Amino acid sequence: MPGFTIHIAIAKQYLNKHKNEILNEKDFIKGVIAPDLDETMYEISRDKNKSHYGTWHILPVETNIDMFLNDSSVDINNDYWKGYLLHLLTDFYFYNKFFLKECLKMKNNNNNIYYDYDCLNKDLIERYQITILENIKKYMNFIDGTPKYLDKDKVIIFIEKISSLNLDNQIKIILEKGMEGLN
């Protein structure tokens, strides 16, 4: 999963680029971080496969956003669920398209990506003027260092690209062509 900072940066940029689409920004941001937190919204989710509608222990990551869209508890017209969808799309594009090579290299070296997130957090928080939510503060670390796998400029390009997605178009593609239809 991309770190909380990346998810929130994408959400903030999404809100800036899609004015008037999201009515309740707090609910939207809550939805953006929800898949990585349990139902209480205070602890990291223990069952990523369930909360992310896919399989998360292999690469490329298997994501079934069509299952999410067909889940009877999901109301995609609700800002919380739009945020949740943006999170799932972010993860899909991060692991399967944009950073697949980096993630495979990391996995082959038996490393995790959290060191890289910790190195990037400070810069991304400043760049996107992110206020860290209370319920995720304890998961945020800051390291003065150079990421091993993620290039900061590429992460910024990723944030800009994903925040420019049109959620309705993504939904239409998934419903018509399945996950294979996403570029």
Is the separation of the CB atoms in 95 and 127 below 8 Å? Answer: no
pLDDT at 137: 87
Burial of 86 per CB tally in 10 Å (0-12, 13-18, 19+): buried
* Distance between CA atoms of residues 108 and 60, nearest Å: 13
107 confidence band (pLDDT: 50, 70, 90): confident
Q: What is each CA distance from 160 to 12, 104, 141, 166, in whole angstroms?
A: 10, 23, 23, 13
pLDDT digits (tens, 9 = 90+) for 19-34: 999 999 999 999 999 9
10 confidence band (pLDDT: 50, 70, 90): very high
pLDDT digits (tens, 9 = 90+) for 127-142: 999 998 888 888 888 9
Q: Please enumerate in sequence order all residues whose Cβ is within 8 A of that of 123, keeping only pairs 6 or more positions apart, or say none.
A: 152
Q: What is the DSSP letter of 133?
A: P
* Distance between CA atoms of residues 151 and 174, nearest Å: 29
